[in-house]
Amino acid sequence: MSFVYALLRHDIESALESVGLDPAVGFLHTDRPGRPSLALDLMEELRAALAGRLVLTLINRRQVQGAGFTEQDGGGILMDDATRKAVVAAWQLRKQDEIEHPYLNERIPLGVVPYVQCCWRARFAAVWTPIPHSSGDDTSMMVLITYDVSTRDDAGRRRLRRVARLCENHGQRVQNSVFECLVDAAQWVVLRASILSEADPHEDSLRFCFLGSEWKRRVEHVGAKVAYDPVAIPLTSRIFMNLGVN
pLDDT at 49: 85
Range of the domain at 45: 2-124
Same domain, 96 and 21: yes
The domain total for the chain is: 2
Is 157 in the same domain as 217?
Answer: yes
Residue 120 falls inside a structural domain: yes
Same domain, 25 and 102: yes
As a whole number of angstroms, the distance between CA 57 and CA 49 comes to 12
Q: How far is CA 126 from CA 12, 148, 223, in A?
A: 19, 37, 44
> Do residue 49 and residue 6 come from a single domain?
yes
**Cα distance between residue 6 and residue 13, in whole Å:** 10
pLDDT < 50 positions in the chain: 126-137, 233-246
Q: Assess whether 108 and 154 both reside in one domain.
A: no
Whether residue 75 is found in the same domain as residue 25? yes
Cα–chain center distance at 167: 19
> Within 27-74, where are the H helices?
37-43, 53-60
- Give me the pLDDT at residue 101, please: 79
88 & 158 share domain: no
CATH number at residue 88: 1.20.120.920
Bridge partner list, 180: 144, 172
Q: What proportions of the chain, in percent to the nearest 5, are helix, strand and coil?
A: 45, 15, 35
Residue 88 domain-assigned (yes or no)? yes
In a domain, residue 133? The reply is: no
Res 73: pLDDT = 81
Q: Please identify, among 124, 155, 181, the residue that sits at the C-terminal boundary of a domain.
A: 124
Percent of the chain with pLDDT over 70: 84
- Give the pLDDT confidence of 13-63 residue by residue, as tens digits: 988 888 778 888 887 888 888 889 988 988 998 888 888 888 898 888 888
What is the identity of the amino acid at 27?
F
Residue 81 falls inside a structural domain: yes
* Residue 219 CA, distance from chain mean position: 21
Residues 6+ apart with CB under 8 A from 79: 3, 68, 69, 70, 87
